[in-house]
Amino acid sequence: MQKFLILIIIFFSGFKAYSIEFTLDDCIRYAQRNSIDAQKAMNSFLARTNRSQAFYADFYPQLLLNASLPGVSREINQITQPDGTTLFREQSQLFTSGALTLSQKIPFLNSELSIASGITKLDVYQTNDYTLWRSTPFQVTYRQPLFKYNSMTWDRKIRELIDSKSDDEFNQEMEDIAINVTRKFFELYLSEMNLKNSEQNVAVNDTLFRLSEGRFSVGKIAENDLLQSELALLNANNSFSSAELEYRRTLDELKITIGYTGSDKISIIPPKDIPQIDISPDEAVRYAVMNNPRITDLEIRKQEADLALQRAESNNRINADIFASFGLNQAAGQFDLIYRDLLDRQRFDVTIQLPLFTWGKGSGTLEAALQDKNRIISDSELQRMNFEMEVRYLTERLNQLRRQVEISTKADTIAARRFDVAKNRYIIGKIDLNSFFIAQSEKDIAFRALVQNLQSFWLAFYNVRKLTLYDFAMQKRINYVLERK
């Protein structure tokens, strides 16, 4: 029985001590799957995808049913008599109709072809009630604009750019998550190391204070040195208390950021090494221009400006539309007669629109569209130059930070070693208290500089990935859309 209880205690003790370890890459991947930001990014992407599907669906055959539910009218109508005279009669009518239409857009012609079939029933209530039926078994209709810009081709061209931009926006949103997680990860790492360092400082200063008390009691040090040692211990305790609270805050922030809702304790493993890559700024600019949605957005604006100019030019010159239809129809007083001895139904129209005098409206609209296009071209060129400069600077900054991390790592090692030497020398009375505190302060400063440089490097690394949408470590394009399909 005692062995059984011991096993239970060991089991639950181990269960409580269980923790999950996260590397930086683990945190990023977890957040890209489970965080609220990832859900928002996916919802936005799916909304854009559905809008795109709705756009392209408009170019597939459309089958529509148009029906008029029974309508009633009661009014005095003008009726022409067989002898040519006109009488006004009070009539009550009940009418019902229905039609089935199959239509298809033809993008390269900017035209539309449709086939329809329908039926209409009219009940007239007056002195002599009667019913009329009319059928249209089929009717083929074709509409063709002439001399106009092809709106369907332009719309599809712009939509392709919008779709490309949508995919890259989702990729950037995933990289934004990586950037945010990296920031929170290193904030937690710094607070964790500060907590450990504060705990170590408390232990060291406590030891030194007790040592100072002993030396003061035998007259080896002045009271000022004892008070300085006691003050250092009090400050170390305060720093430890603040570091403990800051650690809990940054831990909770990281959990929220990555979307972790479990009850298990988590611990982080900082990256031991950084990617040994030296990215060429020109190469980074090339990938950024190729992949970044900001560049695609500039191209969309140019295309929309060209479209507006084409529309203005089209509206300022002669336009024509061809409308042609052919079908069969029949009318009778009985339903079983409306599909017998069908009659031809034909129609052909050519409509022309030519602006003759519009008080300068057409030329003004055309000139405004031209100036808008020139403005957008100039603005796009400026934005592109600023964007390329941003990419180039950030790439150079990343290469610089890689070297700074190497220097900071060496400086941290030296400062930690110097602190150990200073502590041991103070214990044996070879240096004074001020020299020890200087070594302790330099150790803390060197460590914080290392963590901050690590954070800056990884933030710059993921910012370069975001701007270029290219993984320079793996030498491949970043595409989360394909990974999720």
Q: Tell me, what DSSP letter sits at residue 417? A: H
Strands (E), 228-318: 265-269
Structural domains of the chain sorted by starting position, each given as residue range(s) with its CATH number in brackets? 20-55+155-296+378-484 (1.20.1600.10), 61-109+111-147+320-354 (no CATH)
Please tell me the predicted confidence (pLDDT) of residue 345. Answer: 80
Please tell me the predicted confidence (pLDDT) of residue 1. Answer: 39
**Tens digit of each residue's pLDDT (9 = 90 or more) over 4-48:** 333 333 333 444 445 789 999 999 999 999 999 999 999 999 999
Please tell me the predicted confidence (pLDDT) of residue 250. Answer: 95
Percent of the chain with pLDDT over 90: 52
Please tell me the predicted confidence (pLDDT) of residue 213. Answer: 84
What is the pTM (predicted TM-score) of this model?
A: 0.82
State the average pLDDT over residues 257-261. 93
State the average pLDDT over residues 214-234. 83
Please tell me the predicted confidence (pLDDT) of residue 483. Answer: 59
Task: Give the mean pLDDT of the chain.
Answer: 87
Element (H, E) at 142: strand 130-146
State the average pLDDT over residues 287-295. 95
The pLDDT-based confidence of 2 (bands split at 50, 70, 90) is very low
Please tell me the predicted confidence (pLDDT) of residue 15. Answer: 42
Token pair 């910012």: residue: 463
Q: Tell me, what DSSP letter sits at residue 356? A: -
Burial class (CB in 10 A: 0-12, 13-18, 19+), 343: exposed
**Tens digit of each residue's pLDDT (9 = 90 or more) over 176-198:** 999 999 999 999 999 998 898 88
- Per the DSSP assignment, residues forming a β-bridge with 93 are 73, 124
Over 90: is that where the pLDDT of 272 sits?
Answer: no
- Determine the Cα–Cα distance for residues 438 and 35; give it in Å rounded to an integer: 44
Please tell me the predicted confidence (pLDDT) of residue 127. Answer: 63
Beta pairing, strands 19-23 & 265-269: parallel
Please tell me the predicted confidence (pLDDT) of residue 80. Answer: 76
Residue 343 or 150, more confident: 150
Tokens linked to 340 = 């017998």
Please tell me the predicted confidence (pLDDT) of residue 10. Answer: 35
Q: Which of 21-35, 210-224, 317-331, 333-347 has the highest mean pLDDT?
A: 21-35
State the average pLDDT over residues 333-346. 82
Strands (E), 30-85: 62-80
Q: Give Cα 11 to chain centroid, integer Å.
A: 46
Please tell me the predicted confidence (pLDDT) of residue 484. Answer: 56
Token pair 């269960």: residue: 15
Q: Which of 62, 114, 107 is nearest to 323 (CA)?
A: 114
- Per the DSSP assignment, residues forming a β-bridge with 321 are 145, 351
